[in-house]
Amino acid sequence: MSAAAAATGASPVRDAVEWRLAAPLGLTYVVFFAAPFLILLGISFYADAEQTRLGFDSWVKFYTDAFYLKVIFDTLKLGVFAVVATTILAYPLALVFRASSSRMQRVLIFIILMPLLTSVVIRTFAWIVILAREGVINQTLMGLGLTATPLNLLQTELGLVLALTQIEMPLMLLPLLAIMNQLDQNLIDASRALGASKWRTFFRVILPLTLPGWIAGATLVFASATTAFISQSVIGGARLVYLPALIWQQSMVVYNWPFAAVASLTLLFTVLTGIMALSWLGRFARTT
Amino acid sequence: MASQQTATVQAAQPLTLDGVTHSYGTGFAVDNVTLEVKGGELVALLGPSGCGKTTLLRIVAGFISQTNGKVIIGDRSIDELPPNRREIGIVFQNYALFPHMTVAENIAYGLAARGESRAVQADRVAEMLATVRMEGFADRKPRQLSGGQQQRVALARALAIRPRILLLDEPFAALDKNLRLDMQIEIKRLQRQFSLTAIMVTHDQDEAMSIADRIAVMSHGKIEQLGSPVEIYDEPATLFVNNFIGSSNLLKGRVEAIGPEGYRVALESGAVWKLTSKGRFEAGAPVLVSVRPEQMVLADEAAPDRLPVALKLSLPIGGALIHDATAAGGEAMKIAMPRRPGALSTGPGTAFAALAPHARPSLFPAASS
Ligand SMILES: Nc1ncnc2c1ncn2[C@@H]1O[C@H](COP(=O)(O)OP(=O)(O)OP(=O)(O)O)[C@@H](O)[C@H]1O
Ligand SMILES: [Mg+2]
């Protein structure tokens, strides 16, 4: 009796989470994230660039101007395109990866991870070489006689999506490959034996059961594509304006900090909206 | 019952494996297997781990294509058909139920893939649930079921498509002993009811003995012996089958003389036995005599056909008394005799082992020394 009582008596103590372990990181968050966030929120409620008057003027100006609304929309669209493009490329590769021998899998993982060993800046500039008027793609197309005049790829959404797809690919692939590799082969075989074609098996069994991996990947790709300041500015140039560039311009060039704060918070909400939409999707992916 | 009427209309089709061989790269996982499973028959593939049972099953299902040989259902080769066109029901060792679907969706899966209407699907699901006695579970997810229930759903799912052939890969391995017996009876009942041609993989010999019509004992990718459970047990064709099925005492001996009614074999441990065998042995050939424990008896006095044994230990196991003994030649022996009520284990001592009146020992050639 006493042993049991002692055990139950001791269990709350043992089960208690040691919150102090989280203190260093928690403090860092408070100082470098929560506090700046609150300051940012405060600044956004100044009505003028000189921060003399309080008011909703910056918010109203941002959300009533068609130009800025289009910037929000374009940023969202860029994230969606990056997710769609990486998805279309990643799923077939993940299926190939699954079917490969473990030696081949190691080689594939190395190839997939290789881009991560190079800085984003270098990869972005490499894409300029590829996309430029006299770049690799145009040289090839003209060499093959498929086009007479060079295509405009730099400073276009298409070029930017192309580059981002390659740059963000590992973020989509890694979670997807992990979950794809764990999928029980017997489930796929069972589906086939029951009469399902390969496509049906993919959409009814493989896709739903790997959705959690895709959601993780899609969240990462969406968040980094919408905030990819370097790639957006270097490849998109001045012609394509996205929220990160707008923030930089307003804060560092125009010095309109309230307006930059509004843009910053908008970017934050844009990313959050995408992530929430994805995790809402995840609720349907009950895989067990 | 409506389910039984609709179920038995289809005539069972035979399944023939003709010289099926498969290599994963090095060596043969399945080596020239020829096997004809008659319509409505249940054949058990029995063999030690790694002997190629699963590989053979996966070839029949079409998940891997064999290096050589043919798989024929009825009179048609199915080698060119992809798995989804073979109409084969398969139950996996881990059941492989779709975890994201309910029991009803799992059972309807094959019907939906065939484009059956919702009404047909619902009818068949209800019928299959009744067949496997799982009526109340249609809306559960697989993880909310016990092992035996998952097994039933897996069976229902495989049978819902009215397969021509049923393949079972160690279907009972994950079940505990009592449930195992229930499910064995259940599978036998369903296999009869649907008059299915079936292959069941197992490495449990009791399981194979109890529910299979015939047993194919496999070793290293080859079928060592194919026969009824009784044949396999009473007349093992090879030493491997003999040792793999049941337990037996192996005694070294030499053929002394060949007479009209069999061989006279002198055992190294002393006795001389008159034995019959389908095998052919020369006079003087070294042989191994295999006797099942229950085909031997112990006596108190010596005789020419009795061999002296040193009793080490006797254990009452249920209705039998198992004597652990050592023969004069050093061979370890087990002798099982009916236990008289009230009799307890006996201590060490010396006794004389003889063949029981009904005994039919098997003879195998021994590697000559
Ligand atoms: N995918 C594979 N690649 C290479 N070799 C394999 C593969 N699958 C099985 N093998 C080999 O083929 C042989 C037969 O394997 P199989 O799975 O058919 O055995 P099994 O009789 O089902 O064994 P168990 O009773 O353990 O399930 C084994 O030696 C195994 O190592
Ligand atoms: Mg196996």
pLDDT at position B186, please? Answer: 86
Residue A1 in contact with partner chain B when CB distance is under 8 A: no
Residue B274 in contact with partner chain A when CB distance is under 8 A: no
pLDDT tens figures, B225-256:
999 999 999 999 999 999 999 889 999 999 98
Residue A55 CA to residue A44 CA, distance in Å, equals 9
Residue A202 in contact with partner chain B when CB distance is under 8 A: no
Q: How far is the alpha carbon of A172 from chain B, nearest alpha carbon, in Å? A: 23
pLDDT tens figures, A187-228:
999 999 999 999 999 999 999 999 999 999 999 999 999 999
Closest chain A residue to B140, measured at CA: A288
Other CB atoms within 10 Å distance of the CB of residue A115: 16
pTM of the predicted protein model? 0.84
pLDDT at position A120, please? Answer: 86
**DSSP secondary structure letter of residue A53:** S
pLDDT tens figures, B38-58:
999 999 999 999 999 999 999
Grade residue A175 by pLDDT with cuts at 50, 70 and 90. very high
The Å distance, Cα B55 to ligand 1 centre, comes to 6
pLDDT at position B135, please? Answer: 92
pLDDT at position A27, please? Answer: 93
pLDDT at position A8, please? Answer: 46
- Say if CB B166 and CB B197 are below 8 A apart: yes
Domains and CATH numbers, chain B: 2-242 (3.40.50.300), 247-365 (2.40.50.140)
Closest chain B residue to A210, measured at CA: B100
Among the listed residues B239, B197, B208, the one whose alpha carbon sits nearest the alpha carbon of residue B46 = B208
- Say if CB A263 and CB A243 are below 8 A apart: yes
Which residues is B311 bridged to in the sheet? B325, B349
What burial letters (b/e) apply to A12-39, b meaning 16+ CB within 10 Å? Answer: eeeeeeeeeeeeeeeeeeeeeeeeeeee
- Say if CB A48 and CB A57 are below 8 A apart: yes
Residue B225 CA to residue B215 CA, distance in Å, equals 8
- Say if CB B111 and CB B124 are below 8 A apart: yes
A239/B129: higher pLDDT: B129
pLDDT at position A14, please? Answer: 63
pLDDT tens figures, A22-34:
999 999 999 999 9
Grade residue B87 by pLDDT with cuts at 50, 70 and 90. very high
Which residues is B310 bridged to in the sheet? B326, B350
pLDDT tens figures, B313-343:
888 887 788 889 988 878 889 999 887 776 6
The three-state secondary structure class of B224 is strand
Report the complex ipTM. Answer: 0.83
Segment B213-222 mean pLDDT: 95
A164/B347: higher pLDDT: A164
Grade residue B220 by pLDDT with cuts at 50, 70 and 90. very high
Subunit contact B109:A193, Cβ cutoff 8 A: no
Other CB atoms within 10 Å distance of the CB of residue A79: 25
Grade residue B9 by pLDDT with cuts at 50, 70 and 90. very low
Among the listed residues B319, B45, B38, B37, the one whose alpha carbon sits nearest the alpha carbon of residue B205 = B45
Return the structure tokens found at A31.
Answer: 């100082």
pLDDT at position A9, please? Answer: 45
What's the Cα-to-Cα distance from B15 to each of B51, B71, B219, rounded to whole Å? 21, 7, 21
Residue B110 in contact with partner chain A when CB distance is under 8 A: yes
Which residues is B71 bridged to in the sheet? B17
Q: Is the pLDDT of residue A244 over 80?
A: yes
Mention every residue, 6+ apart, whose C-beta is less than 8 A from residue B214.
B41, B42, B43, B44, B226, B227, B228, B229
Domains and CATH numbers, chain A: 66-282 (1.10.3720.10)
pLDDT at position B3, please? Answer: 43
Grade residue A1 by pLDDT with cuts at 50, 70 and 90. very low
pLDDT at position B204, please? Answer: 86
Of the listed ranges A109-113, A250-254, B54-58, B266-270, the one predicted with least confidence: B266-270
pLDDT tens figures, B284-304:
889 999 999 999 988 888 888
Report the nearest atom of ligand 1 relative to the CA of B25: 4
Segment A231-247 mean pLDDT: 90
Grade residue B7 by pLDDT with cuts at 50, 70 and 90. very low
- Amino acid at site B289: V
Sign of the CA dihedral running B304, B305, B309, B314: negative
Grade residue B10 by pLDDT with cuts at 50, 70 and 90. low
What's the Cα-to-Cα distance from B12 to each of B15, B81, B163, B196, rounded to whole Å? 10, 20, 10, 6
pLDDT tens figures, B168-206:
998 888 778 888 888 888 889 989 988 899 999 998 888
pLDDT at position A13, please? Answer: 56
Q: Is the pLDDT of residue A288 over 60?
A: no
- Amino acid at site B181: L
DSSP B292-304: -GGGEEEESS--T
- Say if CB B41 and CB B197 are below 8 A apart: yes
Among the listed residues B300, B304, B291, B309, the one whose alpha carbon sits nearest the alpha carbon of residue B356 = B291
Q: How far is the alpha carbon of A287 from chain B, nearest alpha carbon, in Å? A: 5
Return the structure tokens found at B206.
Answer: 């009791």
Pairs of residues, one from chain A and one from chain B, whose beta carbons lie less than 8 Å apart: 72
Among the listed residues B357, B312, B346, B303, the one whose alpha carbon sits nearest the alpha carbon of residue B331 = B312
Grade residue A45 by pLDDT with cuts at 50, 70 and 90. very high
Mean pLDDT of chain A: 89
pLDDT at position B342, please? Answer: 64
Closest chain A residue to B96, measured at CA: A187
B261/A61: higher pLDDT: A61
pLDDT tens figures, B160-178:
999 999 999 988 887 788 8
Q: Is the pLDDT of residue B100 over 90?
A: yes
Show contacts of B311-318: CB within 8 Å, 24+ apart: B311/B346, B311/B347, B311/B348, B311/B349, B311/B350, B311/B351, B312/B348, B313/B345, B313/B348, B314/B345, B314/B346, B314/B347, B315/B345, B316/B343, B316/B344, B316/B345
**B109 contacts in chain A (CB < 8 Å):** 191, 194, 196, 204
- Say if CB B292 and CB B353 are below 8 A apart: no
Closest chain B residue to A286, measured at CA: B100
Residue A50 in contact with partner chain B when CB distance is under 8 A: no
Segment A104-123 mean pLDDT: 90
Atom 9 of ligand 1, nearest CA residue = B55
Subunit contact B109:A208, Cβ cutoff 8 A: no
Ligand 1 pocket, residues with Cβ under 6 angstroms: B 24, 29, 47, 49-55, 203
Subunit contact B113:A197, Cβ cutoff 8 A: yes
Atom 12 of ligand 1, nearest CA residue = B29
Grade residue B2 by pLDDT with cuts at 50, 70 and 90. very low
pLDDT at position B178, please? Answer: 81
Subunit contact B63:A184, Cβ cutoff 8 A: no
What burial letters (b/e) apply to A126-161, b meaning 16+ CB within 10 Å? Answer: bbbebbbeebebbeeeeeeeeeeeebebbebeebbb
Mean pLDDT of chain B: 89
pLDDT over 70 percentage in chain B: 95
The Å distance, Cα A56 to ligand 1 centre, comes to 71
Q: Is the pLDDT of residue B259 over 80?
A: yes
Ligand 2 is an ion; residues with CB less than 5 A from it: B 54
- To the nearest 10°, report the CA torsion of B279, B280, B285, B289: 20
pLDDT over 70 percentage in chain A: 93
The DSSP H or E segment spanning B91 is strand B88-91
**Vertex B54: Cα angle to B52 and B55 (nearest 5):** 60
